[in-house]
Amino acid sequence: MKSKKNPIDFKNLSEKELIKILDRGNLKEEEMKKLIEAMEAKGMSGSILEVGDDLGRDGEMAVIEYIEYHKKLAKKPEKDEVIRKAIHVLADNDSTLEEKKVAIINLAHTGRKDACRALEKYGEKAEPELSIWVSMALDECLMFLKSKTLKKPIIEMGKVRK
């Protein structure tokens, strides 16, 4: 447990321990800064999101479902065929919501320009229940693209809004 006398030494914690602290929340600004520095030093990338008050219950549930859905799929789809299929699914009006969810998550993790464009285009006509998904996925995809471009891990903070 931390105290004023014994601040957390984030540099010596494992990735799992860092994520656990992040999940607990209630960090002061300086602690959050040190946590992010430690995560980046370990090569971790990602987004730290605050859920806006304007989302309502359905929006909050969409955020939770989006985050939990990550556990169902590969971390980074590398194969061009998976990415091409995901882009096609979002462009196809006959795709099911479930197919679109898989496609959105897969594209979010690519950090590719074509994936960002596909998410932007789909976001213009997305079903209401997937609008938050697309917004979060586009932010993720842009963050991974930035990380690739700069050739270093990036952790970004933001707020999920309607």
Residue 65 scores a pLDDT above 50? yes
The angle, 0 to 180 degrees and rounded to 10, between the axes of the packed helices 131-150 and 113-123 is: 160
Q: How high is the pLDDT of residue 3?
A: 47
Q: Are 125 and 16 contacting, i.e. CB atoms less than 8 angstroms apart? A: no
pLDDT (tens digit per residue) in 111-126: 999 999 999 999 999 9
111 Cβ neighbours under 8 A, 6+ residues apart: 141, 143, 144, 145, 146, 147, 148
In this structure, of 19-28, 32-41, 90-99, 116-125, the range with the lowest mean pLDDT score is 19-28
Tens-digit pLDDT profile for residues 129-155: 999 999 999 999 999 899 889 888 888
Whole-number pLDDT of residue 118: 97
| pLDDT tens digits for range 75-109 | 666 688 889 999 999 999 999 999 999 999 999 98
User: Which pTM does this prediction carry?
Assistant: 0.78
pLDDT band at residue 43 using 50, 70 and 90 as cut-offs: confident
How far apart (Å, rounded) are the C-alpha atoms in residues 29 and 31? 5
